[in-house]
Every structure is written in structure tokens, then in C-alpha cells.
């Protein structure tokens, strides 16, 4: 790391299936970390106080996270950079982009429902990058699956070794607190407190005080379960967690503050410092590299609707970033300078003078920066790109108010740059076709066009459900293919051809019939793993 008295950065994302309690635990981490003094609760979109991290109006109305938000605070000698990601599967690309910008992840699992589909998808993405994952089994204050069963299910469904570092005492209405396998301490809590004030701390699992405090039945059950856990699960090693091979597991209830202190302390002690990041050229850029470097992983227009601003989220990978310094945009070869870079607390932003590896800062930008762009102090390398995935739903989008054509065009372009949707153009008709993962993205576009840009739109269906990016080393053969399938060809924002198909069988059959044409499942055409054959 560069010479600095600044605390080491801990940059991590929180991931989960919808309704597992991800946003609630985000706020409790902020609460226990001293970043906020009062936490709100998300309750079916009807909460009186919306959560700190869900700042967009639509998020407040629905009680869901639509966009990744960034929150920073200091705790126990470390700078926490916490990214709360969308839980809803329709916004999986925003979550994927976020995972490229962090060094570890906190996975939240609903102990009542166990491992769910979205959890599997997100865990797989994290494991592909060998991202260290810490796990919090939430909602132990409700009647749910047995803790031993939850551990077995996690290993089986996620193909990830588990190592419990805390354990619940009772469950549901009998939930009394947590036992720390790390310290050997038992902490009993009173429910619904706004801070972590333990009712009683017991230093030894064999202490008779435990039987008096929780009852002989729960005390005996805890001791028996600890013998089983120690016999089945090997002793925890931090290096196994940092390599992504093992996930340490904590139990608790975010809503009632059970187990949160143990979790945040473990993050402060064990979560990785900033890690090296891969480049297109094949090397790794270490945080100790003396020159500043970093990449844009997210664009958000109208973060503050009153000012119609556009903010680029920038992850610093090496060196020291300084305000008003001139940097090099490796994609365009042009210079870039920011006079008002900002640090985040959800929608609140403060101008900063310096930032260090692991920090997430925001640039006010008029369109110069795009997702995946690299900035350096002059070195000519690019961090590995952030690919877009083939959509599953396609719609023609039409402007319904000719008097608002400029607002419609601007809004659509900015939302596409953010990655809210993918925008494709049909060359023959100049039709705009949106590609999304889920229906909710289409609703977000309509909502934001109306409320942020004063424009309105409607959709028309098209008979396509899958797509792939296509290339061919022979330009003439590619042109022949494009002409033959002109009704199925659209171009993405980078003017690369994309083939649309009614289903996967049609796509595979077409590629088989034209072996000279290469199809890719993502926009990353440099990675052979994305090739469809």
C-alpha cells in the first residue's frame, strides 16, 4: 500500500436472495459501526422510514433494492467500504458489476427458507472470481431450519465448505443469543434493542450460569451441538477463507441485533485488504503499485434528481488518488481531471481530496466515462472489462409523446449507459430494442423516464428470447451473414452485431449451420470461455 496513515480498506458487497434481510443487515452493520444512529426496517414497501441504502423513490415505494449503493465508515482501525447490491434477480448485472469492484462478499441466507436460487447464482459468480465469502444465517428469531441442516444444505447447494464461527442458542421463540466459537463467549440478548447491550455474558460453555440463564434443555442442546460441529467441521483457518475455499458462518437475527457484533468484528479482523486486479494485457496490478490506477464499474444518472447529475463510480486499485490531479484515460488517450470527487453514504456525498486502494469514489461526469473505463497516471494498461450478458426479454420501445423526443432520447441513452437495460438498434428501421433479464427492469425504465426525464414510453413485443454477440475473422463472410439474417440482427451501444433468436435451439442450430461465425454469451469477445462452441 502507498505510504499513508489511513486505515486499511475493507471493500465488500452484501449479496442474497430477495427478502433474506440483506438491506436490514446492511443498516445494522452501519449502526454497530457507528455510521448511523437509527435504523429503518423494510416491510413490504410500506415502511414509515425507508432504509438508508435504498434511496431511489421506486425503492422506497416497493421496499426492494434496485441499484447498488455505496456506504463508507471507519470501524476498529479499518475503513469499511460497504456495497449493498440489488437482491432481485432482474438486476443481476448491476450485482455482477459490483462484484468486480470488491475484495470480498457477505452472503446473507434466510434460515427459514435456506439456500435459494438467487443465492446460488450470486455465490457462483463470486466463486468464479475466487472472492472470499463470509456467511450470515439470518432470522434465527423465527422458526426455521435446524442449524446443522442449514450448514449441510449450504455445502451441498453451493459447493462451498462451511466453517461455523458462531452458533445460535435456541431458535424461534426460544432464541436466546449466540455462542462464539472464536472467543468461547456466550452473549445473551434482549430483543428489539437499538444497540448491542448484552443481558449477560458467560465466558465458559460449561458454566452453570448458562443452565440458569437459558434453561437446562437449551444449555444441554448447545453443548451437544458443539461436540457435533467440532467433530464434523475442521478447525477454521483464515487462509482457507481468503482463498475462497471456505466460508465462515455466523448465526443471528439482523432485525433484533442478534449476532451482528460478532459478524462485524470478524469482518474487521479477517476480511481481505485490497487485492491485485487483472488487466486485459494479462498481468495483475498490485495495490502497492506506486501509480494511481482504477476503473469505472457503475454509472448512475440523477443520483440527486434535483441537480440532474451523472456520477461514475470508480474503484481505486493502486497508488493514491488526488483531487484536481490530471490522469490518463487509457481508452481514449485523453486526460481526465476531477475537481469534486466524492465519497459516499448512500445518496449523501462529501467531496474528498485523496483516496486510496479499495476506496470507491464518485466523479461528476457529462458522458466522458463509461462502465469499464480505466484511469491511470500514464501507464497504458486496461483493467479487465465488465461484460454484459445476453438478455432474456426483448421489447421495442416507443416514445409516446413527440413533444418530449429530446427528453426521451437523453433518458434512454443515460439509462442504457448505467446498465439498467441494454439498448440495441435495428439498422434497417432504426428501431430501438431493449434487452433485459427480468420484467422489473422494463418497469424501472418507464418509471425513471417519467419521473426523472419527463418522458413517457410504451413497449411492443418481439419474438426473441435469447441472443449472442457474433464475430468472424473473414469480414466478407460476416457481412453475408448479417445480410442473410438482417431481420434478426441488431447492434449494441458499441456498434457490435448481435444475433437474436426465438429460442436457444434456433440460436444453436444457426451457429452450427455457419461454423465460420463465432457466437458469444457475453460482450467480452476476448474471453474464450464465453464462446458458445
Q: What ranges do the domains of the chain cover?
A: 8-166+242-270, 277-376, 393-530
Rounded to whole angstroms, the Cα distance separating 242 from 389 reads: 28
For residue 123, what is the enclosing H or E element? helix 117-128
Of 343, 324, 236, 392, whose CA–CA distance to 9 is shortest?
343
Q: How far is CA 51 from the centre of its chain?
A: 17
Query: Does 3.40.50.300 match the CATH number of domain 277-376?
Result: yes
For the residues of 178-232, what is the DSSP string, one character each? EEETTT--EEEE-TT-SS--EEEEES-TT-HHHHHHH-HHHHHHHHHHHHHHHHH
Rounded to whole angstroms, the Cα distance separating 530 from 318 reads: 29
C-alpha count within 13 angstroms, C-beta hemisphere, residue 335: 5
Which pairing describes strands 246-251 and 161-164: parallel, antiparallel, or unpaired? parallel
- Residues whose CB falls within 8 Å of the CB of residue 16, separated by 6 or more in sequence, listed in order: 22, 87, 107, 108, 109, 110, 118, 119, 122
Encode burial over 364-395: b for 16+ CB neighbours within 10 A, e otherwise.
bbeeebbbbbbbbbebeebbbbbbbbbbebbb
Give domain 8-166+242-270's CATH architecture: 3-Layer(aba) Sandwich (3.40)
Fold agreement (8-166+242-270, 393-530): no
The SS3 of residue 355 is strand
> Using an 8 Å Cβ cutoff, are 13 and 85 in contact?
yes
**Fold type of domain 393-530:** Alpha-Beta Plaits (3.30.70)
For every one of its 533 residues, what pLDDT tens digit does the chain have, with 9 covering 90 and above? Answer: 445 578 899 999 998 888 888 888 988 898 888 877 555 433 333 333 344 444 355 554 554 444 557 788 899 999 999 987 765 555 566 777 888 899 999 999 999 999 988 788 788 878 777 899 999 999 999 999 999 999 999 999 999 999 999 999 999 988 988 999 988 888 886 665 544 445 567 888 888 988 988 899 999 999 999 999 988 888 899 999 999 999 999 999 998 888 888 999 999 999 999 999 999 888 999 999 999 999 999 888 765 556 567 889 999 999 999 999 999 999 899 999 999 998 876 445 688 999 999 999 999 888 789 889 999 999 999 998 777 888 889 999 999 999 999 999 999 988 888 888 899 999 988 899 999 877 888 988 999 899 889 999 999 999 999 999 999 999 999 999 999 999 999 999 889 999 999 999 999 999 999 999 999 988 877 766 667 77
What pTM does this model have? Answer: 0.80
Cell of 260: 451482528
Amino acid at each position: 500500500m502507498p505510504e499513508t496513515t489511513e486505515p486499511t480498506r475493507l471493500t465488500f458487497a452484501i449479496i442474497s436472495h430477495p427478502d433474506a434481510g440483506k438491506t436490514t443487515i446492511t443498516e445494522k452493520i452501519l449502526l454497530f459501526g457507528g455510521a448511523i444512529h437509527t435504523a429503518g426496517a423494510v416491510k413490504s414497501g410500506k415502511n414509515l422510514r425507508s432504509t438508508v441504502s435504498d434511496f431511489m423513490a421506486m425503492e422506497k415505494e416497493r421496499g426492494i433494492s434496485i441499484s447498488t449503493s455505496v456506504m463508507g465508515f471507519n470501524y476498529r482501525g479499518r475503513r469499511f467500504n460497504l456495497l449493498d447490491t440489488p437482491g432481485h434477480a432482474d438486476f443481476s448485472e448491476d450485482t455482477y458489476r459490483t462484484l468486480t469492484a470488491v475484495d470480498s462478499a457477505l452472503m446473507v441466507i434466510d434460515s427459514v427458507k435456506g439456500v435459494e436460487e438467487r443465492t446460488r447464482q450470486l455465490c457462483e459468480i463470486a466463486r468464479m472470481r475466487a472472492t472470499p465469502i463470509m456467511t450470515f444465517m439470518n432470522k434465527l428469531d423465527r422458526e426455521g431450519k435446524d442449524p446443522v441442516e442449514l450448514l449441510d444444505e449450504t455445502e451441498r447447494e453451493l459447493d462451498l465448505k462451511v466453517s461455523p464461527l458462531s452458533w445460535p442458542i435456541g431458535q424461534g421463540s426460544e432464541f436466546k443469543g449466540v455462542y462464539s466459537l472464536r472467543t468461547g463467549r456466550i452473549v445473551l440478548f434482549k430483543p428489539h434493542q437499538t444497540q448491542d447491550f448484552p443481558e449477560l455474558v458467560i465466558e465458559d460453555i460449561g458454566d452453570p450460569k448458562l443452565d440458569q440463564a437459558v434453561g437446562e434443555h437449551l444449555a444441554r442442546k448447545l453443548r451437544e451441538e458443539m461436540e457435533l460441529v467440532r467433530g464434523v467441521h475442521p478447525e477454521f483457518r483464515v487462509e482457507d477463507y481468503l482463498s475462497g475455499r471456505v466460508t465462515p458462518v455466523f448465526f443471528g437475527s439482523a432485525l433484533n441485533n442478534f449476532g451482528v457484533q460478532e459478524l462485524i468484528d470478524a469482518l474487521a479482523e479477517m476480511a481481505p485488504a485490497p487485492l491485485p486486479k487483472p488487466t486485459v494485457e494479462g498481468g495483475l496490478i498490485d495495490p502497492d503499485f506506486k501509480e494511481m490506477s482504477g476503473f469505472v464499474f457503475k454509472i448512475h444518472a440523477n443520483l440527486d434528481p434535483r441537480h440532474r447529475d451523472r456520477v461514475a463510480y470508480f474503484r481505486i486499485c493502486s497508488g493514491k488518488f488526488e483531487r484536481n490531479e490530471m490522469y490518463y484515460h487509457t481508452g481514449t488517450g485523453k486526460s481526465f481531471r476531477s475537481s469534486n470527487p466524492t465519497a459516499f453514504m448512500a445518496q449523501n456525498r462529501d467531496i474528498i481530496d485523496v483516496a486510496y486502494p479499495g476506496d470507491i469514489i464518485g466523479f461528476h461526469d457529462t458522458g466522458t466515462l463509461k462502465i469499464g473505463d480505466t484511469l491511470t497516471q500514464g501507464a497504458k494498461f486496461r483493467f479487465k472489462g465488465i461484460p454484459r450478458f445476453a438478455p432474456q426479454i426483448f421489447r421495442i420501445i416507443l416514445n409516446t409523446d413527440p413533444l418530449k423526443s429530446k427528453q426521451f432520447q437523453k433518458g434512454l441513452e443515460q439509462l442504457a449507459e448505467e446498465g439498467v437495460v441494454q439498448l440495441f438498434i435495428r439498422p434497417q428501421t432504426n428501431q430501438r430494442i431493449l434487452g433485459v433479464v427480468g420484467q422489473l427492469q422494463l418497469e424501472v425504465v418507464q418509471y425513471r423516464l417519467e419521473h426523472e426525464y419527463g418522458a413517457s414510453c410504451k413497449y411492443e413485443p418481439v419474438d426473441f428470447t435469447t441472443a449472442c454477440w457474433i464475430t468472424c475473422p473473414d469480414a466478407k463472410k460476416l457481412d453475408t451473414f448479417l445480410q442473410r439474417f438482417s431481420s434478426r440482427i441488431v447492434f449494441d451501444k458499441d456498434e457490435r452485431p448481435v444475433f437474436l433468436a426465438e429460442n436457444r435451439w434456433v440460436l444453436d442450430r444457426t451457429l452450427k449451420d455457419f461454423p465460420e461465425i463465432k457466437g458469444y454469451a457475453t460482450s467480452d469477445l476476448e474471453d474464450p470461455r464465453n464462446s458458445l462452441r
